[in-house]
Amino acid sequence: MRVVIIDDEPLARSGLRARLAAHPDLQVAAEYADGPAAIEGLRAVPVDLAFVDVQMPGASGLDVLASLPEPVRPMAILLTAHDRFAVRAFALRAIDYLLKPVDDARFEEALDRARELHRWRWQSAPTTATHVASASARVRRFEVRVGRRMRYVDADAIAWIEADGDYACLHVDGQRHLVRDTLGRLMEKLDPARFVRVHRSAIVRVDCIDELQPLANRDAILRLRDGTPVRASRSYIDPLLRRLAGMDPDGVA
């Protein structure tokens, strides 16, 4: 994804740049130190994701987003020391809202959510040869080691997947199988019509979800059909609710 940093504080920009450098799938395309410059730059060269400081000279970060037409308005992760802008932020479809100083775990959650939404936007675009190739490359079976034997597990038999260090743990019929892969890469391989990311550490097969219990912090506890509890992070709640309501990954019923 192409990313832009909009913040009037040089130290804040350099800090974000350093964090983003650890993610090879993200490219910092530009930086802006004030609202008017950001508006002009984003109108000329759209990007996928913007880290936006709410309070800046000339125009606030929210004013920057509001001034951009929907087709060129990037996904936005807002940065501020105050939470009183939340209502307007969500009206502008900001995908997350990070309070300064930014917590590392929340930063990673926000990036994961941005990746997920970016992937869904790409998938909802008109079909292309590249898109077809990607769909045809989805994994239908996983090769897992059981002692000295190799076992082959159908993707459709997986109830849920959790991160386990450098591995991912596939939960199939009460058994656990480890594969050496990240959840991000697995989501690219799995059928998005059947699997949904619910936490930076968990993927769930949608038809295995039996119950959702909201929590006070906007997280939720999912109960699977076999009784297994899985925590869903607030960063993934909105896409998850759309899927549970019977919508496609791109939000179409």
* Residue 249 binned pLDDT confidence (cut-offs 50, 70, 90): low
Give 121 or 10, the one with higher predicted confidence.
Answer: 10
The neighbour count for residue 147, using CB atoms within 10 Å, is 6
The two structure tokens encoding residue 75: 């996904």
pLDDT at residue 134 is higher than 60: no
d(CA 215, CA 230): 13
- The domain spans of the chain are 2-123, 140-244
15-67, pLDDT tens digit by residue?
A: 999 999 999 889 999 999 999 999 999 988 889 999 999 888 888 888 999 99
Round the average pLDDT of the chain to a whole number and report it. Answer: 83
Residue 247 has a pLDDT of 63
Three-state secondary structure along the chain? Answer: CEEEEECCCHHHHHHHHHHHCCCCCCEEEEEECCHHHHHHHHHHCCCCEEEEECCCCCCCHHHHHHHCCHHHCCEEEEEECCCCCHHHHHHCCCCEEEECCCCHHHHHHHHHHHHHHHHHHHHCCCCCHHHHHHHHCCCCEEEEEECCEEEEEEHHHCCEEEEECCEEEEEECCEEEEECCCHHHHHHHCCCCCEEEEECCEEEEHHHEEEEEECCCCCEEEEECCCCEEEECHHHHHHHHHHHCCCCCCCCC
- Are the C-beta atoms of 208 and 196 separated by less than 8 Å? no
The pTM of the full predicted model, rounded to 2 decimals, is 0.50
pLDDT tens readout for residues 135-173: 555 788 898 887 778 889 999 999 999 998 888 999 999
| Per-residue confidence (pLDDT) for residue 24, from 0 to 100 | 87
pLDDT category at 128 given cuts 50, 70, 90 is: very low
pLDDT band at 176 (very low <50, low <70, confident <90, very high): very high
What fold, for 140-244?
OB fold (Dihydrolipoamide Acetyltransferase, E2P) (2.40.50)
pLDDT value of position 129: 41
The answer to whether 2 and 27 have CB atoms below 8 angstroms apart is yes
- The residues, ordered by sequence, that sit 6+ positions from 144 with a Cβ below 8 Å of its Cβ are 150, 151, 152, 153, 170, 177, 178, 179
CA distance 72 to 43: 7
Residue whose tokens read 């807002």: 78
Rounded Cα gap, residues 239 and 30, in angstroms: 28
**132 has a pLDDT exceeding 60:** no
Architecture of the domain spanning 2-123: 3-Layer(aba) Sandwich (3.40)
